[in-house]
Structure 1
Amino acid sequence: MKFKIILICFFFADSTINAQSQLPRIIVSTDIGGDDPDDFQSLVHLLVYADKFNIEGLISSPPSKGRRKDILEGIAAYEKDFNQLKKHSSNYISPEILKKSTKQGAINIQSEDIPSELSEGANYIIEKAMEDDAHPLWILVWGSITDVAQAVHHNPEIKKRIRVYSIGSWNTWQDPKARAYLYNNHNDLWWIENDHSFRGMYQGGYQENEYGNVSFVSTNIKDYGALGQLFYEQKKDIKMGDTPSVLYFLSGNINDPTDSSWGGTFVKNSHGANYWVDNPVDSLRTGKHLGAKTVSMHRKDYLDDWKKRMALLNKNP
């Protein structure tokens, strides 16, 4: 009897490990705590979906005042909701592991054409990328791409082990040298560069009734758990410009950026064999923003899914 119990426990433990090993490995590089509160929003969203990922690291990136402590603020809210989330899935990562894997990246933007420094965050990217794991390490870039540039420069070997999904636009303008370094010197890098499509997160799509940017938050987010409260305290309407990098993994084929997904649909250009950009087709624009409709067309679907996630949390009094 004792042997059977041990065997059953081993079976479930092994099943959990196997399930987790099949999840996408990700590191998020974020300028959370900087000039725009929407990174807090995207972190809240990521954490309620944490059972869908192997979150291997969170890195504080430049160029503004955001630091590692701001990521830890998000983890503190997650810690309060952790036991409730664990009732839904055993795959939720422990807050303690998240804290240990939260690193400080570069504080200043790249000043020269070639990266010279190696931040703690960049070194951590190299360390995780070089682990003995057949699965690619995805790096979701929500801030400047500085730490990725440093990591690739100091150890180009990681290029065949990583995949990058970057949110560009303002982030690119903040550190143009880091982006230019990667673009001009590493055209073999696996890279989705989302410069416009992310705008579909908060522009266009179905916004009637509870699905508006303000009404959705007030109805489905702010009253649910410490994470919902943090979201609302930071910003009372949906922006979440970095969230398409997470939505990309929740639908579609992650190995094919041209496939339709909640996180956008992208096209190749002549730059590199594994480089994808916003879809330029006119019918997919929202104003001047190329490809924005490839995100906003799924708005009701991904908001409905998120609403179910938030409902897992205790409703605040």
Structure 2
Amino acid sequence: MRGFAIFLLAALAFGSIVSAVAAAQTADQHLRHNRLIVLTDIEADPDDTQSLIRLLLYANEIDLEGLVATTSIHQRSRTAPESIHHVIGQYAEVYDTLSQHASGYPEAETLTARVTTGQPVYGMAGVGEGRDTPGSDAIIAALEADDPRPLWVAAWGGPNTLAQALHTLRATRSPEALARLVAKLRVYTISDQDDSGAWMRETFPDLFYIVSPGGYGAATWTGISQVVDGLDNTTISNAWLAEHIQQGHGPFGAAYPDVAYGMEGDTPTFLNLIPNGLSDPEHPDWGGWGGRYELYTPELSALDPDGFTGGVPVTEETREIWTNAIDTVRPWRARSHGRAHGYAEESFTGFRATLWRWRDDIQNDFAARIDWTVSAYVDANHPPVVRLDHADRLTVHSGDAVRLSALGSSDPDGDSLSYHWFQYPEAGSYPNAIDLWGADNLYARGFHAPEVEAPQTVHFILRVTDKGSPALSRYRRVIVTILPAGGQ
């Protein structure tokens, strides 16, 4: 009996250790998620509802800390928190089924408690002493929370609720505390939909800010829905949305409204926050599902100052911001015979191309998650798990042979996998294309490091796609630093 008691105590102690380890792993996974507060002029355009439906499908992988109903140039004198609540109500209907497919989805009651509102007035008229709102208070509380992670604020409409939070912090906190809180902020606004964006960028010159200011025609975010001659535009068509999202996919899909002005113009604000192995939100210049952005002060002439803004003035930028970057993309296409995949002949260059290269993957992932709301786990598709057979940061010398391998990648549903290794030249410092050995679709490829006179970085992307329906892709990025031959 005494031996059994010792065994029991040991088992209990071991169980406690296992539980503690599991809890620590869960906490660590949580800390890897990005924190996000959304400011939305929902009801100004159906695309806010579209983007909110998509966002909630990723609420297990993004810590959604606030949903704030705001105004914009397109909806100047009212906010519509009731419309946010309506979408959450639809989410509640599918929560039990959705949460079978992945852990971490918040309950509808949790999301409901995070809905607030800003001032029902336009722009800077809603910023100043005595203009605090539940929305601006929520931003301040999130910034001051005991959480080391940055706080992302995505403005789908006017950002004056964020401007009010910063106004209050500047008036009530010490300069040191203000600087510390501003350093935690990461802002992405869909163009400038009120006049507070330019004020924030000038008043807080250290504020991390992603925006394509000026006319909407000069904005990266438009790439999510723009029809392009020579590209396959099927997955952004009304027919595709009806078949794969809206009809026959339960109440959450049925709640997705028809396109009125443009499909999901707000969605790029959070796509790079999804942990799909591709993007690093702290490096917008590396690129990802939400596009690629570079840090510079754009010229006024590049902002399409005479283009459509709804009436928001277009002014000279006063400092560097994260804004449009230029990529050249050759579409990757399946082949009917022989080598399974290859590149199309035609290439596309521009700031929208930074988003075009991922568009089909983005849409297929959305369709799969809508399926999660109505299907059992065994009846739906889930993304592959991508592994590297080496580190994701490599340092080599000119002339070295470098092997890249996806050995060990797998799929939770047992699907067959396709592989695609490619260089992302715009993301690195080395300016030239590097030839990789072998066919484009091999799981393992390699290259000889080119001659360099000074250290250079090269970004290689591994895209792994399953053969489920819809086909889903996940990624890994390998950054290779090339040193001169014989260097240290």
The TM-score range, normalised by the shorter chain, is 0.7 to 0.9
- 2: distance between equivalents of 1:49 and 1:246? 10
In the other structure, the counterpart of 1:229 is 254
Match of 2:279 among 247, 252, 259: 252
Look up the equivalent residue of 1:219 and give its one-letter code: E
User: In structure 2, do the counterparts of structure 1 residues 96 and 113 end up closer, same or farther at CA, with 3 Å as the change threshold?
Assistant: closer
Q: Does 1:310 align with 2:356?
A: no
Residue segments in structure 2 that go unaligned for 5+ positions in a row: 1-7, 171-177, 214-218, 298-317, 330-348, 376-488
Shift of 1:207: 6.1
Look up the equivalent residue of 1:175 and give its one-letter code: D
The CA RMSD over aligned residues, in Å, is: 2.6
- Return the index of the structure with the highest Cα Rg: 2
Q: Deviations over 1:143-177 (max 9, x none)?
A: 10101111111114221121101111xxx2x422x
- 1: distance between equivalents of 2:231 and 2:260? 16
Contact (CA 8 Å) 2:324, 2:351: kept in 1 or not?
A: yes
In the other structure, the counterpart of 2:94 is 81
Contact (CA 8 Å) 1:244, 1:264: kept in 2 or not?
A: yes
Shift of 1:135: 0.5
In the other structure, the counterpart of 2:135 is 121
- 1: distance between equivalents of 2:327 and 2:232? 24
Instruction: Determine which structure has greater relative contact order: mean sequence separation of CA pairs < 8 Å that are 6+ residues apart, divided by chain length.
Output: 1
**Higher-helix-fraction structure:** 1
**Higher-strand-fraction structure:** 2
User: In structure 2, do the counterparts of structure 1 residues 112 and 79 end up closer, same or farther at CA, with 3 Å as the change threshold?
Assistant: closer
Q: Where do residues 180-219 of structure 1 align in structure 2 (5 Å cutoff)?
A: 180-195=198-213, 196-204=219-227, 208=232, 210-219=234-243
In the other structure, the counterpart of 2:158 is 144
Q: Where do residues 1-317 of structure 1 align in structure 2 (5 Å cutoff)?
A: 3=12, 11-33=21-43, 35-63=44-72, 64=75, 65-112=78-125, 115-116=128-129, 117-156=131-170, 157=178, 158-168=181-191, 172=192, 174-176=193-195, 178-195=196-213, 196-204=219-227, 208=232, 210-222=234-246, 223-231=248-256, 233-235=257-259, 239-250=263-274, 251-270=278-297, 271-272=318-319, 275-279=321-325, 281=326, 291-314=351-374
Contact (CA 8 Å) 2:221, 2:268: kept in 1 or not?
A: yes
Look up the equivalent residue of 2:65 and give its one-letter code: E
Name whichever of 125-134 and 104-113 sits farther off.
104-113
Q: Which runs of 4+ in 1 moved over 6 A?
A: none
- 1: distance between equivalents of 2:126 and 2:158? 15
Residue segments in structure 1 that go unaligned for 5+ positions in a row: none
Look up the equivalent residue of 1:130 and give its one-letter code: E
- 1: distance between equivalents of 2:261 and 2:350? 23
TM-score by length of structure 2 reads 0.57
Name whichever of 234-243 and 156-165 sits farther off.
234-243
- 1: distance between equivalents of 2:260 and 2:155? 24
Q: Deviations over 1:73-111 (max 9, x none)?
A: 111111111111111112111111111111111211234
TM-score by length of structure 1 reads 0.86
Contact (CA 8 Å) 1:197, 1:290: kept in 2 or not?
A: no
Name whichever of 155-164 and 73-82 sits farther off.
155-164
- In structure 1, the residue corresponding to 2:366 is in which secondary structure? helix
Shift of 1:304: 1.8
Identity %: 26
Shift of 1:188: 0.8
Count of aligned residue pairs for this structure pair: 302
